[in-house]
Amino acid sequence: MTGHGQAISLLTSAFAGAVGGWLSWLGGLNTANSVLAGASAFGATLVIMILVIQFLQDREPSGH
């Protein structure tokens, strides 16, 4: 995975985790459960982004 792909994956995952935790806290969960919800969103988004980037890189022609 390229450096740009890693940066995009981490930034997107951090944003998804922060928003997920914040929305769950606004929804009435206590702080600990909100942190767990945000961490789950971060982990899931990171895995999906890495898999998508790997899939797209595997589809590139071998000469590039």
**pLDDT tens, residue by residue, 18-46:** 999 999 999 999 999 999 999 999 999 99
The domains of the chain are located at: 11-56
Could you tell me what percent of the chain has a pLDDT over 70?
94
Residue with tokens 């930034």: 11
Average pLDDT over residues 9-26: 94
Q: What is the pTM of this model?
A: 0.81
Closest CA to 10 of 37, 56, 45: 45
Contact assessment for residue 49 and residue 13, using Cβ atoms and an 8 Å cutoff: yes
Identify which has the larger pLDDT, 58 or 40: 40
pLDDT of 1 reads 67
